[in-house]
Structure 1
């Protein structure tokens, strides 16, 4: 397996202010750890700015223009917890365009996967608004590129961030060519993401939400990905798998309230690698979303990359769930049985 990594220092021009939890140190810690503690040499993927046309497949032109004008000011508030610096627009263009480049890297040959280590993150960004630390929806932009420019017909987006990927869901809610699967804490920011949000029109059944209470463990997450996403994905047969990889489900994260260990992240990577191998020739791209325990996120990214490259074995984790989790996922299974073999 050839594993690619996209990481660019220009992402760190995006700065939302002193003390903000979504900060350049997130990527700086990852880069430092990968230089000293990664036991393979990944293929390096170069970032490039997304074009206006590529962004306009997901975002309104007037919103793109508005963000472009943030270059004129040192600090521009965008919502209650999101802001732009004078370099944020450039970073956001590179994050979206870099995610496209990483998708093309995976698509270019057999036996390839990749991790786009980008910021700002993207899965909360809506068609016409920034939200939840996100400016452009990197994963949605890449999915549209794969469909419109590369001719793919079925894309799976899995989102394991602790927060629901509202922007990604809304981008594809009425479509049957993109299957969106999200595990997330609820009730929690940004709201929504209920089990009864299943898509609309042609997209009914192509949105799968598993809202969870706090405290979920490795076993809970692996059970959901193995026993809910697994059968659905095998029936859908995606041609490419994109992952909104949020590391705020890490046990030490200051925001998330979940209990996933370093081994648990390697286990999630294993599950998705297995699904990609069974359905789409191993085509798998992870894209960084949240994660605010600086050291823990860096170490988790390392373990995920090692698993993706095959330099570490799949962890031996029992996919067991608690009674509480069983109760929480029962309505998910019940509503999705109308569409998938669960």
Structure 2
């Protein structure tokens, strides 16, 4: 078996204003870091409308389409922008997430990594925010449940910012467990432990500024992994943000590449034990370009090692 890498040049067409941290160079650095790796390279398709409607209403999708500018930028909020290529990039990112699920659920790949942008885990059901337009991780989970008939899917989000959008979309979904570790206090301000979902299906694990990799390993080993084992998902979806890195300019955790490698290795081992290794990862944050590139390569290297 193998690891699938899904990407598309359209993701480079989502352009943000000069100085914006979620920039084209992020994906360029990630893809450069993955060059030469023996991966199943898959062209990301455009998302199907019925898939998008699993997580966003038609009115929201139409709002994004109508606001896309023919030139320059459209500001959706102070952090979130549309450029002429943004809708295509977002739709491709969502399509990459669902195609990754198809490949893994169908046994064509053991696991998969979607290297696309913009990121998605802050996009709520009807609200774009935090650089995000479409809820890719939540969509992957819903696609696995609805299209592939899985009984339980877990989403693990280790981005430094709370995945408020994924939480919002999956809040009322009893068959999806959403687990988020994130710095607190930090934008967007959500993700307290008492936010537990309509069915006790949300687990938030706030981490204090300065939390290093050793403490992260303790928290995941003692709290997160037991919850995942008890839930026994048929697939694990990962929101892979690398902005918990010590070098990242937008937050204050102190993880290093080896910490992302360890966490990926442990999640793959857990997936191997409880769901046949089925794991789909989607790129989220990470804003120091060199740290992002090194961390993404460490992440995908562990996915590849687990796939055999």
Is this a same-fold pair by TM over 0.5? Answer: yes
- Name the counterpart of 2:272: 277
Which one of the candidate residues 43, 62, 65 is aligned to 2:62? 65
- 1:166 paired with 2:164, answer yes
Q: 1:174 to 1:311 in 2, by over 3 A?
A: closer
Say which SS state the counterpart of residue 310 (structure 1) adopts: helix
- Name the counterpart of 2:215: 220
Q: In the aligned structure 1, how far is the partner of 2:303 from the partner of 2:65?
A: 36
Q: In the aligned structure 1, how far is the partner of 2:130 from the partner of 2:280?
A: 22
Say which SS state the counterpart of residue 248 (structure 1) adopts: coil
Q: 1:311 to 1:137 in 2, by over 3 A?
A: closer
How big is the shift at 1:311?
Answer: 8.5
- 1:308 paired with 2:303, answer yes
Say which SS state the counterpart of residue 151 (structure 2) adopts: coil
- Equivalent runs, 1:12-91 vs 2, <5 Å: 12-35=12-35, 38=36, 40-74=37-71, 75-91=73-89
- Name the counterpart of 1:325: none
TM-score, normalised by the number of residues in structure 1 = 0.87
Q: Does the 8 Å CA contact 1:70/1:86 hold for their aligned counterparts? A: no
Q: In the aligned structure 2, how far is the partner of 1:234 from the partner of 1:72?
A: 46
Q: Deviations over 1:210-235 (max 9, x none)?
A: 11111111112222222211111111
Say which SS state the counterpart of residue 243 (structure 2) adopts: helix
Quote the RMSD (CA, aligned, Å). Answer: 1.6
Q: Does the 8 Å CA contact 2:2/2:307 hold for their aligned counterparts? A: no
Q: In the aligned structure 2, how far is the partner of 1:247 from the partner of 1:269?
A: 12
TM-score, normalised by the number of residues in structure 2 = 0.96
Rg (Cα) greater in structure? 1
Q: Deviations over 1:5-44 (max 9, x none)?
A: 1121210100121111100100101112222xx5x41001
Say which SS state the counterpart of residue 217 (structure 2) adopts: helix
- Name the counterpart of 1:320: none
- 1:154 paired with 2:156, answer no
Greater mean deviation of Cα atoms: 70-79 or 141-150: 70-79
- Name the counterpart of 1:249: 244
Say which SS state the counterpart of residue 237 (structure 2) adopts: strand
Q: 1:237 to 1:291 in 2, by over 3 A?
A: same
Q: In the aligned structure 1, how far is the partner of 2:256 from the partner of 2:185?
A: 22
Say which SS state the counterpart of residue 68 (structure 2) adopts: helix
How big is the shift at 1:286?
Answer: 1.0
Figure out how many residues of one structure are paired with residues of the other and give that number: 307
Q: In the aligned structure 2, how far is the partner of 1:68 from the partner of 1:263?
A: 40
Say which SS state the counterpart of residue 92 (structure 2) adopts: helix
Greater mean deviation of Cα atoms: 186-195 or 107-116: 107-116
Q: In the aligned structure 1, how far is the partner of 2:108 from the partner of 2:251?
A: 36
Structure 1 alignment gaps of length 5 or more:
314-342
Q: Does the 8 Å CA contact 2:186/2:251 hold for their aligned counterparts? A: no
How big is the shift at 1:70?
Answer: 3.0
How big is the shift at 1:100?
Answer: 0.5
How big is the shift at 1:175?
Answer: 2.5
Say which SS state the counterpart of residue 243 (structure 1) adopts: strand
